[in-house]
A = this chain, B = another copy of it.
Amino acid sequence: MSSYAKRLWLEEDLGDDYRWSYRVSAVLFSGRSTYQEVDLVDTPTWGKVLLLDGKMQSTEADEQVYHELLVHPPLLHHKNPKRVFIMGGGEGATAREVLRHASVEKVVMVDIDQVVTDFCSRHLERNTDAFRDPRLTLINDDARVQLEVAPDESFDIIISDLADPLDGGPCYQLYTQEFYRNVVLRKLAPGGIFITQSGPAGFLSCKEVFSSIHATLRSVFPAVTAYTQHIPSFCDVWGYNMAFRDADQTLLTEEQLDSRIAQQLGGRPLTFLDGATFTGLRQLNKVVREALESEKEVYTADSARFIHGSGLKA
């Protein structure tokens, strides 16, 4: 009571019958866009937390891990990544990690919500430098539209940092076979790599969307690597799928990966990821592995598998 009396709680449903709550010590900033409410709060548990529509989007405590795993596996597996396209990622952390790679010359980041990108570029201290980096082009628009219209241009890396393909959600189209085949694959340069965050991937949750995203990518790309990691503030293990454009691209060994990290990042090692870590993350457990192997459902423009109550990374 003496040192911390305010009893403001943020409550987040994790399912219909299941929720968690964490104390909020201060509401630092609040705003509202056409699309959503945007808040930055401070918490004893997670440090500063970015909320979109009252949902945890990213926390000071663990966003580094989430973003390292989204960005560095594809950039490290590419021989010489120069041009990178980010779908979503308005928070700026994805761009921040991309820009650590010395070879990168151009980053196009397309996030629909200008209020979010303005807010984060001013208030998320960890990411403000990234927003000011001259290599970054920030566009507030529909990511699909911008990727399609990019004139005569192709990218070495395309990163999808979007909300899960939720029931009725705006992002569903960006997870379909048609989008992967007609837009993503065409916009990847030779040797290009696509990665997408892929929703919850625990042994209880991997069939919500992770397995179908994986199956959809396998139906389009010659090689797809799935890996997972527990992200505490998402209250689950999280999945990623990395797809190679060409059949001759291969996964690096632990030693090769460590060596690439040393070369590409100017001597600044990553916090969480190294060669040994990545080998562990892509060695999936039996339940998840069998779920991926047996998944028949592919997301198409006509069909959907909906996720309810979890996978809230928007």
Would A283 and B283 count as touching, CB distance under 8 A? yes
Residue-wise, chain A 1-30 has the 8 Å CB interface mask toward B (1 for contact) of: 100011111111011111111111011001
Asked if A118 is an interface residue, CB under 8 A from chain B, the answer is no
Given contacts A276-B286, A279-B283, contact A15 B235 (CB under 8 A): no
Would B7 and A8 count as touching, CB distance under 8 A? no
Which residues does chain B contribute within 8 Å of A16, judged by CB atoms?
44
Number of chain A residues close to chain B: CB under 8 A: 61
Would A229 and B19 count as touching, CB distance under 8 A? no
* Tally of this chain's copies: 4
Would B9 and A8 count as touching, CB distance under 8 A? yes
Which residue of B6, B204, B237 is within 8 Å of A61 (Cβ)? B204
Which residues does chain B contribute within 8 Å of A23, judged by CB atoms?
17-18
What is the bound-complex CA distance between A53 and B3, given in angstroms?
A: 10
Given contacts A230-B202, A285-B280, contact A54 B7 (CB under 8 A): yes
Most buried by B among A5, A10, A44, A284: A5
Residue of B nearest to A10 (CB): B8
Residue of B nearest to A39 (CB): B6
Asked if A129 is an interface residue, CB under 8 A from chain B, the answer is no
Q: A163 to chain B: closest CB distance in Å?
A: 14
Given contacts A22-B18, A203-B272, A204-B232, contact A36 B286 (CB under 8 A): no
What is the bound-complex CA distance between A261 and B37, given in angstroms?
A: 47
A200-238 residues with Cβ-Cβ distance < 8 A to B are 202-204, 229-230, 232, 235-237
What is the bound-complex CA distance between A61 and B15, given in angstroms?
A: 15
Q: List 24 A-B contacts (CB under 8 A).
A: A5-B36, A5-B54, A5-B55, A6-B51, A8-B10, A8-B11, A8-B27, A9-B10, A9-B21, A16-B44, A17-B22, A18-B20, A18-B44, A19-B20, A19-B21, A26-B27, A27-B30, A61-B204, A62-B204, A202-B232, A229-B285, A272-B287, A276-B289, A277-B286
Q: Which residues of A line the B interface, CB within 8 A? A: 1, 5-12, 14-24, 26-27, 30, 36-37, 39, 43-45, 51, 53-55, 61-62, 65, 202-204, 229-230, 232, 235-237, 270-274, 276-277, 279-281, 283-287, 289
Q: Which 10 A-B pairs have the closest CB atoms?
A: A280-B283, A17-B23, A5-B53, A20-B20, A17-B44, A27-B27, A6-B54, A277-B285, A18-B45, A7-B54
